[in-house]
Amino acid sequence: MDVEKKHFTCVTCPIGCEIDVELKDGEVVSMEGTKCKKGQEFVSQELGEPMRILTTTIPIKGAKWAMLPVRTDRPIPKRLLFRVIEELTDIERRAPVKMSDVIVRDIAGTGADIVATRSMNREKKGKFV
């Protein structure tokens, strides 16, 4: 079987190691460029089940801005990102909202909650309370 080559940029820490991996029959046969164990763990995760934290916005009523920034409270499988986004299309909040408020629990069965990443006060006749 042919050797497959993959390249990763580790995002676990600020160093951002450039990691080159050779795979044979799906197994790692060589890995170069890691400066710490975290890089090896990152590559293993990426090869198995890539995980990401989703950041997006949802509509909010009664606030100065029309959109509330939100994110998952933990990484979720990358393959489920679009399913989570789809579930969020019908979600809307009303101000006030505090940072870290849970907007949706266990989104798409991932075990992750969607949380607000900004506080937004309620608008009252041109003023905010």
- 79-102 per-position pLDDT tens digit: 999 999 999 999 999 999 999 999
Q: Are residues 25 and 85 in the same domain?
A: no
The pTM (predicted TM-score) of the whole model is 0.83
- 21-78 per-position pLDDT tens digit: 999 988 999 999 999 999 999 999 999 999 999 999 999 999 999 999 999 999 999 9
- The torsion region of residue 52 among left (phi > 0), alpha (psi -120 to 50) and beta comes to beta
Are the C-beta atoms of residues 89 and 70 closer than 8 Å to each other?
no
Q: Are residues 82 and 118 in the same domain?
A: yes
Q: Are residues 14 and 33 in the same domain?
A: yes
Q: Which of 43, 46, 41, 52 is nearest to 19 (CA)?
A: 43
Q: Which domain holds residue 31?
A: 3-48
- Domain tally for the chain? 2
